[in-house]
A and B are shown apart, each in its own frame.
Chain A
Amino acid sequence: MNDVIPGTDAGKLAATDLAATNTDAGDAPGWQRTLSNLAAFLRRRLTGDYEIDDFGYDRDFAETLMLPPLRWLFEKWFRVQTVGIENVPLGGAALLVANHSGTIAVDAAMAAVAVHDEHPQRRPLRILGADFVFNTPVLGPLARKAGHTLACTADAERLLTAGELVAVFPEGFKGVGKPFSQRYKLQRFGRGGFVSAALRTGAPIVPVSIVGAEEIYPLIGDIKPLARALGLPYFPVTPTFPWLGPLGAIPLPSKWLIEFGEPIATDGYPEGAAEDPMVVFNLTDRVRETIQQTLYRLLLRRGHPFLG
């Protein structure tokens, strides 16, 4: 790490930085490597020897501590299959737009694992989240360390300009908190702010369709007074929660499919297209329709929600 040269931009993390940190013990058996890497990780934590970018993305922490448990959920619990990862650009900016469901935002985490693990460049996915996330103790700092940030124009454009892969879930709480009866029906797609950001930065839009998240916590009720008292957007009631207590927090093991659709170019539009509501609405509708149609197709392909 070149942190002894003054004036270098320490805020930018080169993709190769981490590879250089612990390449020792390369010929040792797997468990030995895991142990020595873990010891080195603890040492780096204790001495503060790691780098974060301007948004707080801590690659060392995210890849060592956060991705492994999510990867287990991804591979073993939800048996996620991905389609079309080649539609995610090898380098440079892109805006991934996905449907949102599942009572809590597990789908966002799974999309991040899909992009990181299946993409040949193992790119981090920078998710735009609700301010509620960054307001919450523990969750907020963890989301920052994982590279996510607030869903606002300034942050979206800054990340896209820096050539990052940015993901947005335009349905927001309307999507995650919708009742089970409305599963796989896309809600309103915000006000198209994400399309303006893509138009302004010329980043392609990749529609992402996620099937499987709807069944993990089937939402059959919402205790509104309790949600208000706790300051939550909704208080979920599922077939298992809160009846089974902490056990009810275990997601049902549905079968998941994630499809990355063909990129929609945004750089062919005339200057000022981001300020033209007609262009923005049309693009928003096009992205929304693509995802909705893909969802229906994927549902047919999946068959049984749990057996797949």
Chain B
Amino acid sequence: MMGRTSEAATARTGRTVLVTGVSRFLGSSLAGRLAAVPGVDRVIGVDAALPDDAARRRLGEAEFVRVDIRNPLIGKVIEGAGVTCVVHASASIAPVAAAVRTMTKEMNVLGTMQLLAACQRTASVSAVIVRSTSAVYGGSSKDPAVFTEDTAPRAAPPTGPARDAADIEGYVRSFARRRPDVRVAIPRFGEIIGPTVRTPLTRYLSLAPAVPVPLGHDPRVQFVHEQDAVDLLEHLTLGSFAGTLNVAGDGVMTLRQAICRAGRIALPLPMSAMDAVSTALKMARVGGFSTQQLRLLASGPVLDTTRLRAVAGFTCRYTTRQAFDDFARTIPPVLSPAAVRRAELWATGLLGVRPAADGDPRLTGVRDPVPVAGQGNGEPVQP
């Protein structure tokens, strides 16, 4: 760190990165991380909203400019600073509970269009990275069980955030055609989870004591740890990968398994009753969930991450299960593994049989790896 300033002064790489959505976890963490990289001269974080204290801390040495990406002013920021790499980290974000659908669409789709328009006009821009989501695959019963980047979904998502994400990818691809000199990377993330980020999914999984699940269905889910998500965006910013990329932790869980691992009880309800339950929960102010989000989750595709490892040269540190457990430890369980084990011992004792051995690492005190110090500080933020 000491020698960095002099080094940077003598050998400027001409690398200036613009990161969107820095009031949220992913954007602010990435901007802060990049600002500390010797090969990067300048990092500009933009957002329409002011970052809170936690996000400001994560931003570190990165500059903050308050600008809405839907405003043509963003073009002036990019041009004026001679930005070489644009990371659109706030694209395809899940809607905030309060945000209405049109608002989310406007932020996501129109914001991306405006940002891409600015990038197209700025000659200095040589790399564009736009965050996308695995929701673009849709996921019907006619689709294969595992999606590679080249799998064309049978049914394109008709409406909602999944459709927006597909539209955004379309705009990014046509931008790539118009500016073939620009390196374009589109990482498609599975659900980002961890101790810090708060998403509609984490709010849903935090419902207690019971979490409503669609009756007669048990979708497979995959998670990406928040630190892996930041690491990957940094890797893509500094690396040379171009193209579409599936991003998910190794392994798969089912939704009910995840709910059980969070120490909650899965309550099967018909999908038609979910809207009513969701409304009731919101009115009772005990938290809520969006049925749309649940539908997305229920059709959730499983990603083939061969390209991530083999071509992009990136390995997620957390498996799907480890990422989930790292989130689950931040919410108080209703049924802890220890309590269930006690009940088992009580029941086997009552029956007079010897209980089976328990291989659950959560009971033996072996914990999953804790994120690097100074990162996930437990403050709830938007990803």
CB atoms of A24 and B359 under 8 A apart: no
Which of A11, A21, A28, A43 has the most chain B CB within a 10 Å cutoff?
A43
**Does chain B have a CB within 8 A of A158?**
yes
Interface residue ranges of B332-381 to A (CB < 8 Å): 335, 337, 340-341, 343-344, 347-348, 351, 353-362, 366-369
**Does chain A have a CB within 8 A of B217?**
yes
Q: How far does the Cβ of B71 sit from chain A's closest Cβ, in whole Å?
A: 42
**Does chain B have a CB within 8 A of A140?**
yes
Give A194 to B220 CA distance when docked, in angstroms.
26
Give A52 to B219 CA distance when docked, in angstroms.
12
**Does chain B have a CB within 8 A of A269?**
no
- Would A131 and B353 be within 8 Å (CB), given that A1-B359, A6-B318, A39-B348 are in contact? no
A137 interface neighbour in B215, B259, B315, B317, Cβ under 8 Å = B215
Query: What residues on A are CB-neighbors of B366 within 8 Å?
Result: 4
- Would A32 and B353 be within 8 Å (CB), given that A10-B250, A47-B261 are in contact? yes
Chain B interface size band reads 35 or more
Query: What residues on A are CB-neighbors of B259 within 8 Å?
Result: 48
Pairs A–B under 8 Å by Cβ, sample size 20: A3-B321, A7-B250, A7-B319, A10-B252, A10-B319, A21-B359, A25-B353, A32-B353, A35-B353, A36-B355, A37-B356, A47-B335, A47-B362, A52-B254, A56-B220, A58-B254, A131-B142, A135-B141, A140-B216, A154-B144
Give A53 to B319 CA distance when docked, in angstroms.
13
- Would A10 and B251 be within 8 Å (CB), given that A138-B216, A154-B144, A155-B146 are in contact? yes
CB atoms of A150 and B141 under 8 A apart: yes
**Does chain B have a CB within 8 A of A46?**
yes
**Does chain B have a CB within 8 A of A9?**
yes
CB atoms of B359 and A20 under 8 A apart: yes
CB atoms of A39 and B335 under 8 A apart: no
Whose C-beta in chain A lies nearest to the C-beta of B343? Answer: A43
**Does chain A have a CB within 8 A of B320?**
yes
Query: What residues on A are CB-neighbors of B141 within 8 Å?
Result: 131, 134-135, 140, 150
Give A138 to B317 CA distance when docked, in angstroms.
34
Give A54 to B356 CA distance when docked, in angstroms.
28
- Would A11 and B145 be within 8 Å (CB), given that A35-B348, A49-B337 are in contact? no
CB atoms of A48 and B260 under 8 A apart: yes
**Does chain B have a CB within 8 A of A227?**
no
**Does chain B have a CB within 8 A of A149?**
yes
Query: What residues on B are CB-neighbors of A40 within 8 Å?
Result: 344, 355-356, 358
Interface residue ranges of A37-78 to B (CB < 8 Å): 37, 39-40, 42-56, 58
**Does chain A have a CB within 8 A of B257?**
yes
**Does chain B have a CB within 8 A of A220?**
no
Interface residue ranges of A93-108 to B (CB < 8 Å): none
Whose C-beta in chain A lies nearest to the C-beta of B225? Answer: A6
Give A52 to B257 CA distance when docked, in angstroms.
10
CB atoms of B250 and A56 under 8 A apart: no
**Does chain B have a CB within 8 A of A255?**
no
CB atoms of B354 and A149 under 8 A apart: no
Give A4 to B141 CA distance when docked, in angstroms.
33
Query: What residues on B are CB-neighbors of A56 within 8 Å?
Result: 145, 220, 252, 254
Q: How far does the Cβ of B144 sit from chain A's closest Cβ, in whole Å?
A: 4
**Does chain A have a CB within 8 A of B253?**
yes
Q: How far does the Cβ of B258 sit from chain A's closest Cβ, in whole Å?
A: 7
CB atoms of B250 and A11 under 8 A apart: yes
**Does chain B have a CB within 8 A of A152?**
yes
- Would A24 and B357 be within 8 Å (CB), given that A54-B252, A56-B145, A150-B145 are in contact? yes
